[in-house]
Structure 1
Amino acid sequence: MTAIAVLTNLPDSDSAFNLARELVSLRLAACANVLAPATSFYRWEGREEQATEVPVLIKSTRERYPALEAHIKSRHPYSVPEIIAWPLELGSAEYLAWVERESQPI
């Protein structure tokens, strides 16, 4: 198994907290950190935009990613949510083993 980190941004704290709790409760992730609000600058539908968003940093596994992505998309208020993932190549062996163990379906 390969541990991964996944990042998504939500428009408010309530939706970020709800998503984080669901992902851990459903064992799609071992951990989800709701981070401090951030100001995002981006281009959307031909216009430059600025918005306050709440990042959620999720630790899971590559094997659980398809289900995790599907769940985020089903709960996300954006039509095209940011969902990006990268492998965790290095880290505490004990922590990475915990991520893999806690992300497994029951």
Structure 2
Amino acid sequence: MVNPWAGEVEVVLNGEPHRAKLTLGALAELETALQVGSLVDLAQRFECGKFSARDVIVLLVAGLRGGGWQGNAEAFCRMEIKGGPIEAARLAAELLARAFTFPDET
């Protein structure tokens, strides 16, 4: 079970639930992988609906790794995400929002 107060989101991969969380290390991984000037820039891309599939993948992989998952982007891309691409995008946005707000504010 995930803890939204700790910024956690549940991501179901191949039918198995995983905890995702954007730790400081995961946030640094995001900045590097997506080459964004700041995390605010990344959040704005999601708020404006101008994010890419790559943004979603990198964000979810960073969050999953922050939650203890040992996989990488290549492994992630071979897995089935419960809810498909739409749910993946929603989870990525929720993960990013939970990193900077309390659950009742998202």
TM, length-normalised to structure 1? 0.26
Q: When you count strand as a share of all residues, which structure comes out higher? A: 1
Q: When you count helix as a share of all residues, which structure comes out higher? A: 2
For the pair shown, which has the larger CA radius of gyration, 1 or 2? 1
